[in-house]
Amino acid sequence: MGKIFPVPFFKFTYLGKGLIILTISAALVKELRNKTGSGVMDCREALSKSGGDVDKAMDFLRQKGLASAEKKSSRATGDGKIESYIHTGGKVGVLIEVNCETDFVAKTEEFNNLARELAMQVAALSPQYTGINDVPGEIVKAEELTVREIISKEGKKGKELDDAVEKAVHKFYKSVCLLEQPYIRDESKTISDLIKESVAKLGENITVKRFVRFALGDGK
């Protein structure tokens, strides 16, 4: 029978050939769960694979969640809610339709918080389209021609020019497409990433169908 050595977050059993992790402390699992909202078993798996490093475990859960969200992306979203947001001062307002699969998820705090964040994102950064595929082809073509003309004047040619144009068009998408924009609370992730994280937590596909942003004086 091996000997058990208690340490802050793990218990190890010495079997003569090395140390084998038997358990991860409930306190560490709770810490990770509070930070990510993930299930107990998922947190245990992440901590085991990351050697008890919470930051690495969080990254593991994020990557796993994004992969899970991709698998759900083709599922129909027939429920959801229309969220409204009026910015302080009443000079900017947003209506946005966020869809999910069931009424049950539509009523959860997580889903409603997401819808609220998306409305605030639209108010703050004023996107014109939901995703890249929603941008009209003629708009994209005009943008490509404009940036190509500007960049070519800098002396760039061939592949260097093509790469620079592609980079400029990608930057254009990040400014006009909601899903491509950096999240206003954490610019290390896009709005698409934010939605995928909620998909992973809630277990349902989530999409943005439409939105409209009102700014005082725009209609004049």
Residue pointed to by tokens 């969080």:
58
Report pTM.
Answer: 0.69
By DSSP bridging, strand 207-215 and strand 92-100 are antiparallel
pLDDT for res 38 = 66
Q: How many CB atoms lie within 10 A of CB 109?
A: 7
- Residues facing residue 214 across a β-bridge: 93
Residue 118 corresponds to which tokens in the numbers above? 């998306």
pLDDT of residue 22: 45
| Lookup: tokens for 116 | 């609220």
- The CA radius of gyration of the chain, in Å to the nearest whole number, is 23
pLDDT at 48: 81
Predicted pLDDT at 47: 82
Report residues of the chain scoring pLDDT below 50: 1-16, 19-22
Give the per-residue pLDDT at 71.
61
Q: Which residue type does 78 have? A: G
Instruction: Tell me if 18 sits within 8 A of 32, measured CB to CB.
Output: no
How many residues does the structure list for the chain?
220
Closest CA to 171 of 140, 211, 213, 138: 140
Report the pLDDT value the prediction gives residue 5, as an integer from 0 to 100: 40
Residue 117: strand, helix, or coil: helix
